[in-house]
Amino acid sequence: MTLSVGDWTRTVPPTGNGRVQYTLMQSRNAVTTVIVMFNGVEQDRLTGTDLRKVAGSYFNVGTVRGSYQLSVEARDATGCSDGATRPMTVTVK
């Protein structure tokens, strides 16, 4: 299982939406689940038989200004998982 995050929205206005781009094409097995978390809260969960061609997701932010963590996790059909390997910070302002 290989998940690579490319780019993400770094600044979002309160109650706005951001996006995170990723690639799953390097995975040998079919990717069946992708989860995007913002500040520890699940924002997007994609499920399917093979999500390797999916390139990104959107996420919502709340009304409280500040800096928050964004993460992406992918799981394949065999149960292996991989998460984003670098810290991703999003600022709500």
Domain boundaries, the chain: 4-82
Q: State pLDDT tens for residues 32-91.
A: 999 999 999 999 999 999 999 999 999 999 999 999 999 999 999 998 999 865 789 999
* DSSP line for 23-86: E-TT-SSPEEEEEEEETTEEEEEEE-S--TT--EEEEE--SS-EEEEEEEEEEETTS-EEE-SS
Q: State pLDDT tens for residues 3-29.
A: 999 999 999 999 999 999 999 988 899
pLDDT at 84: 66
CATH number of this structure's domain 4-82: 2.60.40.10
